[in-house]
Chain A
Amino acid sequence: KQEVTQIPAALSVPEGENLVLNCSFTDSAIYNLQWFRQDPGKGLTSLLLIQSSQREQTSGRLNASLDKSSGRSTLYIAASQPGDSATYLCAVMGGAQKLVFGQGTRLTINP
């Protein structure tokens, strides 16, 4: 059974810092890995999708990497801003397009 773990559970940093969020998964037989952002009481916003054959994806200040063999992904956020404060979730897609989510990292950027 696939298990996804995110570390740290919570992170608080001052504005402007670069930061890394970690995601690990136990079964490397995945189709893709997706990073989401969730604001309190809201749905999920897709940030980056990495296919299993890819190593990284970039969008603006965000960069996500994937090492499928070791079961790890990282989300790098450059020059953090208060508006980046949210919960970040990673999820891996296995068979039948099902996503398995990590518990999330609650990120707070302090002005």
Chain B
Amino acid sequence: GAVVSQHPSWVICKSGTSVKIECRSLDFQATTMFWYRQFPKQSLMLMATSNEGSKATYEQGVEKDKFLINHASLTLSTLTVTSAHPEDSSFYICSAPKTGTSARSYNEQFFGPGTRLTVL
């Protein structure tokens, strides 16, 4: 498999502050990464696609000025939750597709361990 890491694994912040979450592909390069959020006992909802060297593309209903995404290199994407509010509290997960050399593994997505954000 491939390894994707996230940092921090959990964060607690005060309402109105900004929080940055990092997503790294440790053993492969990823020109594209994805950011999801997951509410308790619910499935993952795609928020945005992070593109290395260009702007992120956001899913309908996701505020791009609130959730800033930067794909700084082929192994790092960051999600910044600006002016966080309690309703932003959630589990944020990133993923990266690894283009394998075999047809079997082509476009397999690997996920980070997630970041638990709690906004007080």
Pair B43/A104 contact, Cβ less than 8 Å: yes
When chains A and B are docked, how far (Å) is the Cα of A89 from the Cα of B41? Answer: 12
When chains A and B are docked, how far (Å) is the Cα of A9 from the Cα of B74? Answer: 37
When chains A and B are docked, how far (Å) is the Cα of A18 from the Cα of B1? Answer: 26
Pair A97/B111 contact, Cβ less than 8 Å: no
Query: For the side of the interface on B, what is the size category?
Result: 20 to 34
Q: Which of B32, B34, B42, B104 is in CB contact (< 8 Å) with A49?
A: B104
Indicate whether A81 reaches chain B with its CB closer than 8 angstroms. Answer: no
Pair A98/B108 contact, Cβ less than 8 Å: no
Q: Which of A44, A45, A51, A98 is in CB contact (< 8 Å) with B104?
A: A51
When chains A and B are docked, how far (Å) is the Cα of A36 from the Cα of B112? Answer: 13
Pair A49/B108 contact, Cβ less than 8 Å: yes
Q: Which of A41, A46, A99, A104 is in CB contact (< 8 Å) with B34?
A: A99
Pair A93/B43 contact, Cβ less than 8 Å: no
Q: Which of A46, A91, A97, A101 is in CB contact (< 8 Å) with B32?
A: A97
| A46 in contact with B93 given A99-B34, A99-B46 (CB within 8 Å) | no
Pair A96/B49 contact, Cβ less than 8 Å: yes
Closest to B5 in A: A43
Pair B46/A98 contact, Cβ less than 8 Å: yes
Q: Which of B104, B106, B109, B112 is in CB contact (< 8 Å) with A46?
A: B109
A57-96 CB contact bits vs B (8 Å, 1 = yes)? 1000000000000000000000000000000010101001
